Amino acid sequence: MYTYTSRIRYSELDQSGRLSLFSLINYFQDCSTFHSEDIGLGIQYLIDQGLVWVMSAWQIVVERFPVLGEDVVIGTSPYGFGSVLGYRNFLLTTAAGEQLACANSIYTLLDLAKGRPTRPTPEMHSGYVLSEKLPMDYADRKISVPAGGLLLAPIEVKPFHLDTNMHVNNGQYINIAVSLLAEQQADDKKSMGNIRQMRAEYKKAAVLGDIMHPSLIMTDNAEIISLCDAAGAPYCIVEIKRRLSDA
How many Å apart are CA 13 and CA 68, to the nearest integer? 7
pLDDT in tens, 191-210: 566 899 999 999 999 999 99
Say whether pTM exceeds 0.85: yes
- Residue 247 has a pLDDT of 43
Q: Which domains does the chain have, with CATH numbers?
A: 1-136 (3.10.129.10), 142-247 (3.10.129.10)
- Residue 94 has a pLDDT of 98
- Residue 87 has a pLDDT of 98
Question: Could you list the pLDDT tens digit for every one of the 247 residues in the chain?
Answer: 999 999 999 999 998 899 999 999 999 999 999 999 999 999 999 999 999 999 999 999 999 999 999 999 999 999 999 999 999 999 999 999 999 999 999 999 999 999 999 999 999 999 999 999 999 999 999 999 988 889 999 999 999 999 988 899 999 999 999 999 888 776 555 556 689 999 999 999 999 999 999 999 998 889 999 999 999 999 999 999 998 764 4
